[in-house]
A and B are shown apart, each in its own frame.
Chain A
Amino acid sequence: MVNDDGSEKYPGGYADYITNHMRTAKVGPLAGWRGEQGDQSITGNANPDQLARYIDNGCFWRQEFAPSCRYYKFANRDYLEFAHEAGWIGRTEPIVMQLYSENLQKFRLAGLGHGDTLPPVADRARLQKYFDPLPIWYEPFSELDTRELSSFPIHALSQRPMHMYHSWGGQNAWLRQLTSANRLHMHFKLAEKLGLKEGDWAWITSPHGKVKGQIACVSGVNVDTVWTWNAIGKRAGAWDLDDKAPEARKGFLLNHIISELLPPREDGYRYSNSDPVTGQAAWFDLRVAIEKCAVDELEETSPQFPSMKRKRQVPLPKISQFGRDLKSGEPVPERGVHREFVGNREQHEDAQLGNFQRSPKYNGGDD
């Protein structure tokens, strides 16, 4: 991001950005210790010491909802007012889940030629078909071409490992010991049919391209579907990992074989490969063919790209002894006493006991 004169808006990098960026007045990426004095929560101007407060508190800031805000949130006045003030929602009106969506119907009517603002003629049929005011199921676009169906008979999905759900960071020395390479999980029966066994390398091909990966045989999956962990595979050098890291040599991404665009329409226009209403990328529409690699093929994922070589500030450590300096010995006064952040359920328990300090709208809890 840049200022109007083209200069860098956050020269201090990400730390500068999460401290100082505000997407709208008084609303920024971090909710705790806002305001110049750090005495405001959720909304408030930027606080130059905000990150230091997070560090003091083990990276956690928390605030409990007042009991009156905790139920039927879609129609709970206290909650809606609070959420509006916090900048999470634009209005305080109840949020009603509509089985019949008038908004979608408006788009469809426009597609049918009603109203003052009309969509381009070429897009009208699509509006009519997909902007249905009632919930519909439609066939994935990539499956409309039946020739492709027979050449790519297997569904391929990806999901994120639980332990990496909130940390994709491949540079995390602990998480990468849990998963540093992913395999393509397929049912034993499918593996047998394809002449594959555990650990074999195979080409996974879609109409868009092909990627090489290693097979794992399981029984807890549909026989016509394969899946793999997402976001484990990385380009060599990414996250400053060693070029030989399994993430780059064995881990693979299905992203390489998912097209961002659908095949061209008659006039050459290519729609995005996503749900027309929500814009959600069609990751799960992927269909593939799988073929065992030839014996003389390199046991390494493909495609490979040149390493993202960067100038390292510090050489990669061969050993990490995080915590050695914390080992008991003389107490270090500025570190304060031991605290546990993950399991700190104090406020929660107080809340269950009904032992709440009430403020007019919500409980401004600290911790």
Chain B
Amino acid sequence: MTAIPKSSGKKLGLVIDLDICVGCHACTTSCKEWNTGGYSAPLTDTDPYGENPTGVWFNRVHTFEVTAPDGSSQTINFPKSCLHCDDAPCVTVCPTGASFKRAEDGIVLVNQDTCIGCKLCSWACPYGAREYDSTDGVMKKCTLCVDKIYNEDLPEHSRVPACVSACPTGARSFGDLGDRDSAVSKLVESRGGFDLMPEQQCSPVNKYLPLRKKVVPANAATTALRPKVSGVADALLKWIDKSLC
């Protein structure tokens, strides 16, 4: 019911490296910190010190364990926020035009003044990225820190989303995914970045980078964990090795 504008070609978004993320939640808490004073402020918490504390978060990290057929298992930390889809069903479903996609950079936003809190968009988003604020009665969501990335009060290097500033491992990159020559596009290209749930046909702008392949040496089971010592200059090491064993 709300139209998606013709794109200017610029598509700001995030590239999230699942291989690097350690699940520390620095991005989720920084996101909440910035945004609870920003465009969609506040990010309400209910029962904050009680039995069932819940609240509005634009970015959440889910941690999974996956077991491969060979029995080996891996932990995957999966940070999830709005993916600012090109074909955003949350926008087209909106009856009032409150949910919209910006032509100039592709950011999907909700206008709090015209949102009637009908929640159709949260039903339409296949990623569960929308966050309903039941206290304010309106829908809120990741703004890609629109009030930070263009904020001229900040030094230039700070004009990236709060989650990108905070990530201690460098798992999050920000840039123009509409520009094939941008650093983020090249990163997606070189690492085989992928769309989340492509079958939903939302054409998400944000991309995820896969886990790197685990290389297990063929003789891993039989290789004892011992320091490798060889060569003539290593007499001292050998001696230490011997006295420690």
Contact = CB atoms under 8 A, between A and B. Distances in A.
Nearest to A326: B37
A193 interface: no
Contacts of B74: 220
A343 B65 contact: no
B194 to A, nearest CB: 24
Contacts of A173: 45, 48-49, 53, 55
B166 interface: yes
A317 B37 contact: no
Contacts of B50: 241-242, 244-245, 316, 318
B24 A219 contact: no
Contacts of A246: 51
B24 A320 contact: no
Interface stretch (A44-52, A149-157, A333-341): A333-341
Interface in B74-132: 74-75
A313 interface: no
B25 interface: yes
Where chain A touches its partner, the secondary structure class is loop
Given A338-B154, A344-B155, A323 B42 contact: yes
Interface string A326-352: 111000000001111011111001000
A242 B48 CA distance: 10
How many chain B residues sit at the interface, stated as a range, is: 35 or more
A95 interface: no
B151 interface: yes
Contact of A219 (B44, B53, B65): B65
A242 B51 contact: yes
Among A177, A218, A349: residue with most chain B CB under 10 A = A177
Interface string B27-45: 0111011101111011111
Contacts of A177: 45, 53-55, 57
Contacts of B51: 242, 244-246
B42 A327 contact: yes
A340 B165 contact: yes
Interface string A18-53: 000000000000000000000000000000000000
Nearest to A338: B153
Interface string A296-329: 0000000000000000000011111111101110
B36 to A, nearest CB: 3
A345 B243 CA distance: 46
Interface in B45-75: 45-51, 53-55, 57, 65, 67, 73-75
A319 B158 contact: no
A245 B49 contact: yes
Nearest to B34: A340
13 contacts: A99-B240, A135-B244, A171-B49, A173-B45, A177-B54, A318-B50, A322-B45, A327-B38, A340-B158, A342-B33, A342-B166, A343-B160, A343-B164
Interface of B: 22-26, 28-30, 32-34, 36-39, 41-51, 53-55, 57, 65, 67, 73-75, 135, 147-148, 151, 153-155, 157-158, 160, 162, 164-166, 240, 243-244
7 tightest CB-CB pairs across the interface, nearest first? A343-B165, A323-B36, A326-B37, A173-B48, A163-B25, A219-B73, A337-B153
